[in-house]
Structure 1
Amino acid sequence: MKKQRIDVLLVDRGLAESRNRAQRLVMAGEVRVDGEMVHKSSTQVPMNAKIEVKQRPKYVSRGGKKLEAALDAFEVDLAGKICADVGASTGGFTDCLLQNGAKKVYAIDVGYGLLHWKLRNDSRVVVMERTNARYLDTLPES
């Protein structure tokens, strides 16, 4: 029976967005193959194995989970609000803001190519890469 690395299978089956993400899921103990927990992302498993991921992350990065806790604690209502994520990086805060009702989010970062593809393609996100927020006078309308 043909076998494949578990991290590759997780991506191929759409259970993880990338091999890096798949590896993190395995290391966190979130992946089971045929009912058994897998401990190494390089583990070879049968191609037809039953793969379970305990919990799929709600946000594209852990930052979203942290912001969600603050929004809940301070009872912030984002419905219809226009927000800025300064230092957006992967976009955990951006993702959290959108999932909690923000109308538009300006994802500002000095880096380039860091923002998650899901957010990059969301019409509610204005991607402002290679931008230092200290030097911003205005925000674009689109």
Structure 2
Amino acid sequence: MSNQKVKKERLDVLLVEQGFFDSRENAKRHIMAGIILVNDVPVDKAGTKVPVDAKLRIKGHVMPYVGRGGYKLEKALKTFHIDMKGKVMADIGASTGGFTDCALQNGAAKVFAIDVGTNQLDWKLRSNPQVVNMEKTNIKVVTEDTLGEKVDFISTDVSFISVLKIIPAVKSILKEDGSMAILIKPQFEAGKDKVGKGGIVREPEIHEEVVSDTLAAFEEEGFHCWDLTFSPIKGGSGNIEFLAYLKWQKPETSITEERIHQVVEEAHEVLKK
């Protein structure tokens, strides 16, 4: 039997890291209100140290997915009218598996859950025969041969690297009639001089520039943007993020700079504190 102790972290910090809230101050307000449950037990002190693998939830709110990332893919599927029934998917940057869980609940037949980390994927998904757990796997080395097949759909939620780094892999594994929903995270795409305090990109102009440059880079590699929206929740550090729907085929109408401006403007209006 292992004597290894489970790492602990402050509750407010953990809530932000897992994406429940966009700041420790916001998390603290909810904790003090007594509506945060740790393993189904209320905890009302923000500084309480809790196991990092503890089950966290907000009282009265049952999260439908194993991670809040599921809300991001949920919006992508609805906004972009993506039918997941019977599809084989690659979830790049799977982490706890929010995207994977959402895909399965929407009818996906099989999901390759790919992540460079380890021991993150929720047990519910680890034990699901429809999920291929590819932890400790760098997406940069993944090819069609790695998976043994090409996929119908790809979702991406990568951190600490530019989403552009996944292009060689997706070119290898995505079917000709396939599609993907990529999460664009400005803090990992903008230059360091454009990232503010706390690793947050706040200026709408930089968001527009990042989205435009990212879509242009994918376009150069043969992937065309069919639609664009913003993530319904901020990233763990408080960053606004964007979702783009890409295919090999060209759409009848391309995404314009005006459309990018409109989406960024709406994101700032909806997600402002």
Bin the TM-score by the shorter chain.
0.5 to 0.7
Q: Aligned with 1:77: secondary structure?
A: coil
CA–CA distance in structure 1, aligned partners of residues 94 and 123 of structure 2? 13
Q: What's 1:119 paired with?
A: 125
Query: 2:31 matched to 1:27?
Result: yes
Query: 2:86 matched to 1:94?
Result: no
Change beyond 3 A, Cα 1:69–1:124: same
Of 54, 64, 67 in structure 2, the residue corresponding to residue 58 of structure 1 is: 64
Change beyond 3 A, Cα 1:82–1:29: farther
- How many Å apart are 1:105 and its aligned residue? 0.3
CA contact (8 A) 1:27 1:39 kept: yes
Q: What's 1:48 paired with?
A: none
CA–CA distance in structure 1, aligned partners of residues 68 and 92 of structure 2? 16
Residue type of the partner of 1:55?
H
Q: What's 2:115 paired with?
A: 109
Of 81, 88, 96 in structure 2, the residue corresponding to residue 82 of structure 1 is: 88
Residue type of the partner of 1:129?
E
Q: What's 1:131 paired with?
A: 137
CA contact (8 A) 1:94 1:105 kept: yes
Change beyond 3 A, Cα 1:62–1:30: farther
CA contact (8 A) 1:30 1:54 kept: no
TM-score by length of 2: 0.35
Q: Aligned with 1:67: secondary structure?
A: helix
- How many Å apart are 1:39 and its aligned residue? 4.0
CA contact (8 A) 2:32 2:45 kept: no
Q: Aligned with 1:107: secondary structure?
A: strand
Residue type of the partner of 1:69?
K
Q: CA RMSD in A?
A: 3.0
Structure 1 or 2: more helix by fraction: 2
Change beyond 3 A, Cα 1:38–1:135: closer
Query: 2:85 matched to 1:69?
Result: no
Unaligned regions of 5+ residues in structure 1, if any?
A: 1-19, 43-51
CA contact (8 A) 1:91 1:119 kept: yes
CA–CA distance in structure 1, aligned partners of residues 31 and 74 of structure 2? 24
Instruction: State the 4+ residue runs in structure 1 displaced beyond 6 angstroms.
Output: none
Q: Percent identity?
A: 50
TM-score by length of 1: 0.65
- How many Å apart are 1:62 and its aligned residue? 1.0
Unaligned regions of 5+ residues in structure 2, if any?
A: 1-10, 21-29, 37-41, 49-57, 150-273
Task: Provide the aligned length of Structure 1 versus Structure 2.
Answer: 109
Deviations 1:85-135 (A, max 9, x none): 011111110111101110000000111111011111111100011111111
Residue type of the partner of 1:94?
T
